[in-house]
């Protein structure tokens, strides 16, 4: 049982959160060190899970000799994998001096290689070689000379945008196995490749590059895919009509960031697969940026996090998004109003309660910035059929032993915060009622979402709304797992940290959606507290009071 996790989040979301880019482990003694905003450059040579069995060398076998030459003209041993196309078995290659050697029977093989120039832990150049079908009918002696490879690059509609980060990848399927090789670079690490022959089996070459303008107000995230080969033309051009503009706001929780942080986007090449790649650009909070994305055949999932008062303030999108070529979209990270959401895992004789203390008002986003115990105290309490199960003094997590049978539960959260990195969510009192039975499998993966609100509006980039006017809020309620539509709802607001409350009228705007018009006074303490209640027709309910859910200016 894995009890060490403090948040129930998906693997993809975790990857987006913890590293600016989903980079591959370097082949060699260790990974290259992380520098600045990027976790690269890195390289990964994919290998088959099927290894060729030990065997006596037969008279009909053939010798394979691979040599490498780097950009400086120095002899270097390449990295390489040689896989039998018929069986998927990978044959070993032995390094000696600047060569790789092996012995294989006659047949057709996939050969993939990488030639490094410079320090293996910080290479100046990475050259990617791919031969989809190497026919071995005699001895093979092949030299991979990086000086003959072509530099891979992209051209954006902007003449002043320059590379910030890039990846090239070969993705192929051999005997039912998907195998990929990746090289990742940045301005001081160029990427190269040799064009290959064409094959009809699943074989793809992808290139992705992030570009930024000198003023850092515009950026490009570009992705290109070629099927069946490494193309002869390795300069990829993005036309303005092929891109989508995403006006991006990097909001703060009321306090500006200390420097810049990474805005990373994971890439899903539709139907191609391969290692998950990410492109990173820098951004401070609060700020805005025009970000152009490749639209056709590609989906994106973003994250953004910055540092303030030695705490990371991270948020990630929970699903991949497709953009319309030529269209204009908008996205905001750290968008008020702030408040709790919670996930529950139920299995292995235990209910695991994992709140996110300062989640945002946006559906489809998760903000984990509140998941630090510094300056945060409180409890998580669980009841089963009205009987106390237990109390956790960790306000960010509770693990409670319960019987497997279905029952009605109440998770109660009482939290107080005094942090130097956020002006919001000074206290939370919340109660979620739900029905649950133990589920098979990993309870951390089989998440059980509870009924909860997402409240947001046209705040500024510091999470504030104007004083002295009526301010519309969008109130969306996320259904509990297996739940039905909301049948009862109410909202109240306070402008003095809960000393007094006013009822906020709600106007239905569709299923589980309302508009709330909050009359902001001229006299206030600079913040708005929200008290929310909702229940559905399936027995789920939520009551929560959040002090300083958003600010007033």
pLDDT of residue 283: 96
Asked, for residue 95, whether it belongs to a domain, the answer is no
DSSP string, 410-460: EEEEEEEE--SS-SS--EEEEEEEEEE---SS-TTTS-EE--EEEEEES--
Q: Are residues 327 and 357 in the same domain?
A: no
Asked, for residue 6, whether it belongs to a domain, the answer is no
Asked, for residue 60, whether it belongs to a domain, the answer is no
Nearest CA among 498, 544, 504 for reference residue 359: 544
Asked, for residue 69, whether it belongs to a domain, the answer is no
pLDDT of residue 54: 84
Q: Are residues 240 and 378 in the same domain?
A: no
Q: Which domain holds residue 394?
A: 339-552
Question: 230: which 2 tokens?
Answer: 């490494």
Q: Are residues 382 and 442 in the same domain?
A: yes
pLDDT of residue 231: 98
- The rounded distance, in Å, linking the Cα atoms of 541 and 410 is 9
Q: Are residues 238 and 322 in the same domain?
A: yes
User: Pick from 284, 301, 333: which residue ends a domain?
Assistant: 333
User: Pick from 308, 333, 358: which residue ends a domain?
Assistant: 333
CA distances from 217 to 156, 189, 197, 447 (A): 15, 24, 41, 38
Residue 198 carries which DSSP code? -
Chain-centroid distance, C-alpha 547:
30
- The rounded distance, in Å, linking the Cα atoms of 41 and 10 is 26
Residue 220 and residue 243 in contact, taking contact as beta carbons nearer than 8 Å: yes
pLDDT tens for the 553 residues of the chain, in order: 333 343 333 333 333 333 333 333 333 323 322 234 665 558 999 999 999 988 888 888 999 999 999 999 999 999 999 999 999 999 999 999 999 999 999 999 999 999 999 999 899 999 999 999 999 999 999 999 999 999 999 999 999 999 999 999 999 999 999 999 999 999 999 999 999 999 999 999 999 999 999 988 999 999 999 999 999 999 999 999 999 999 999 999 999 999 999 999 999 998 898 888 999 999 999 999 999 999 999 999 999 999 998 888 999 999 999 999 999 999 999 999 999 999 999 999 999 999 999 999 999 999 998 888 888 999 999 999 999 999 999 999 999 999 999 999 999 999 999 999 999 999 999 999 999 999 888 888 888 899 999 999 999 999 999 999 999 999 999 999 999 999 999 999 999 999 999 999 999 999 999 999 999 999 999 999 999 999 999 999 999 999 999 999 9
Asked, for residue 199, whether it belongs to a domain, the answer is yes
User: Pick from 298, 316, 333: which residue ends a domain?
Assistant: 333
- The rounded distance, in Å, linking the Cα atoms of 501 and 491 is 10
Q: Are residues 172 and 306 in the same domain?
A: yes
Q: Domain with 449 in it: what CATH number?
A: 2.60.40.10
- The rounded distance, in Å, linking the Cα atoms of 406 and 195 is 60
Domain count of the fold of the chain: 2
CA distances from 278 to 58, 366, 435 (A): 45, 18, 38
Q: In terms of DSSP bridges, do strands 311-317 and 365-367 run parallel, antiparallel, or are they unpaired? A: antiparallel
Asked, for residue 99, whether it belongs to a domain, the answer is no
Residue 15 carries which DSSP code? H
Q: Are residues 327 and 397 in the same domain?
A: no
Residue 205 and residue 226 in contact, taking contact as beta carbons nearer than 8 Å: yes
Asked, for residue 101, whether it belongs to a domain, the answer is no
Question: Which residues have C-beta within 8 Å of that of residue 505, sequence separation ≥ 6?
Answer: 516, 517
CA dihedral 127, 132, 138, 141 (to 10 degrees): 0
- The rounded distance, in Å, linking the Cα atoms of 505 and 518 is 8
Nearest CA among 250, 312, 314 for reference residue 283: 250
pLDDT of residue 37: 60
At residue 384's C-alpha, the angle toward residues 382 and 388, to 5°, is: 55
């Amino acid at each position: 049982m894995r009890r060490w996790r403090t948040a129930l989040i998906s693997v993809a979301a975790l990857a987006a959160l913890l590293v600016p880019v989903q980079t591959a482990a370097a082949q060699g003694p260790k990974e290259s060190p992380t520098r600045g905003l990027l976790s690269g450059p890195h390289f990964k040579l994919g290998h088959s899970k099927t290894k060729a069995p030990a065997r006596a060398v037969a008279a009909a076998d053939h010798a394979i000799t691979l040599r490498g030459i780097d950009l400086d003209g120095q002899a270097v041993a390449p990295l390489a994998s040689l896989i039998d196309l018929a069986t998927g078995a990978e044959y070993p290659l032995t390094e000696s001096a600047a060569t790789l050697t092996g012995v294989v029977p006659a047949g057709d093989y996939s050969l993939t290689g990488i030639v490094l120039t410079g320090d293996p832990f910080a290479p100046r150049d990475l050259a990617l070689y791919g031969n989809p079908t190497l026919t071995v009918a005699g001895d093979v002696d092949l030299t991979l000379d990086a000086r003959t490879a072509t530099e891979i690059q992209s051209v954006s509609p902007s003449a002043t945008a320059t590379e910030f980060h890039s990846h090239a990848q070969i993705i192929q399927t051999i005997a039912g196995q998907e195998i990929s090789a990746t090289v990742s670079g940045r301005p001081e690490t160029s990427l190269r490749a040799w064009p290959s022959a064409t094959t009809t089996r699943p074989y793809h070459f992808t290139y992705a590059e992030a570009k930024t303008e000198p003023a850092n107000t515009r950026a490009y995230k570009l992705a290109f895919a070629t099927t069946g080969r490494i193309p002869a033309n390795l300069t990829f051009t993005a036309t303005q009509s092929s891109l989508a503009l995403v006006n991006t706001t990097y909001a703060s929780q009321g306090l500006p960031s200390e420097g810049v942080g990474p805005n990373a986007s994971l890439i899903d090449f539709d139907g191609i697969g391969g290692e998950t790649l990410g492109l990173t650009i820098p951004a401070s909070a609060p700020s805005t940026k025009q970000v152009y994305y490749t639209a056709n055949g590609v989906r994106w999932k973003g994250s953004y996090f910055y540092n303030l008062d030695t705490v990371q303030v991270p948020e990630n999108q929970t699903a991949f998004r497709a953009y319309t070529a030529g269209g204009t979209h908008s996205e905001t990270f750290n968008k008020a109003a702030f408040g709790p959401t919670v996930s529950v895992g139920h299995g292995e004789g235990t209910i695991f309660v994992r709140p996110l203390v300062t989640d945002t008002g946006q559906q489809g986003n998760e903000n984990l910035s509140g998941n630090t115990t510094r300056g945060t105290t409180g409890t998580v309490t669980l009841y089963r059929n009205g009987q106390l199960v237990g109390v956790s003094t960790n306000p960010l997590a509770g693990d409670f032993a319960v019987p497997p049978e279905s029952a009605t539960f109440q998770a109660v959260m009482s939290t107080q915060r005094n942090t130097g990195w956020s002006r919001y969510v000074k206290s939370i009192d919340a109660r979620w009622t739900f029905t649950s039975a133990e589920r098979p499998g990993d309870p951390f993966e089989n998440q059980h979402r509870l009924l909860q609100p997402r409240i947001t509006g046209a705040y500024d980039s510091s999470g504030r709304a104007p004083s002295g006017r009526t301010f519309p809020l969008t109130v969306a309620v996320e259904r509990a797992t297996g739940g039905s539509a909301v049948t009862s709802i109410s909202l109240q607001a306070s402008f003095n940290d809960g000393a007094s409350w006013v009822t906020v009228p709600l106007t239905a705007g569709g299923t589980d959606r309302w508009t709330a018009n909050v009359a902001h006074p001229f006299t206030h303490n600079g913040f708005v507290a929200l008290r929310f209640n909702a229940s559905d027709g399936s027995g789920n309910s939520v009551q929560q009071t959040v002090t300083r859910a958003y600010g007033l200016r």
